[in-house]
Amino acid sequence: MAQQRGVNSLQFNQDQSCFCCAMETGVKIYNVEPLMEKGHLDHEQVGSVALCSMLHRSNLLALVGGGVNPKFSEISVLIWDDARESREPKDQLVLEFTFTKPVLAVRMRHDKIIIVLKNKIFVYSFPDNPGKLFEFDTRDNPKGICDLCPSLEKQLLVFPGHKCGSLQLVDLSNTKPGTSSAPFTINAHQSEIACVALNHPGSVAASASRKGTLIRLFDTTTRDKLVELRRGTDPATLYCINFSHDSSFLCASSDKGTVHIFALKDTKLNRRSALARVGKVGPVIGQYVDSQWSLASFTVPAECACICAFGKNTSKNVNSVIGEDPC
> Strands across the sheet with 184-187, in order?
147-148, 156-160, 166-171, 184-187
CA distance 126 to 111: 5
Answer whether 97's CB lies under 8 Å from 115's CB: yes
In degrees and rounded to multiples of 5, residue 293 shows phi and psi of -100, 160
One pLDDT digit (tens) per residue for the chain, 327 residues = 233 458 999 999 999 999 999 999 999 999 988 889 999 999 999 999 999 999 999 899 999 999 999 999 999 999 999 776 655 656 688 999 999 999 999 999 999 999 999 999 999 999 888 999 999 999 999 999 999 998 888 999 999 999 999 999 999 987 666 554 556 899 999 999 999 999 999 999 999 999 999 999 999 999 999 999 999 889 999 999 999 999 999 999 999 988 999 999 998 999 986 544 445 544 444 454 567 999 998 888 777 778 999 987 655 566 666 655 443
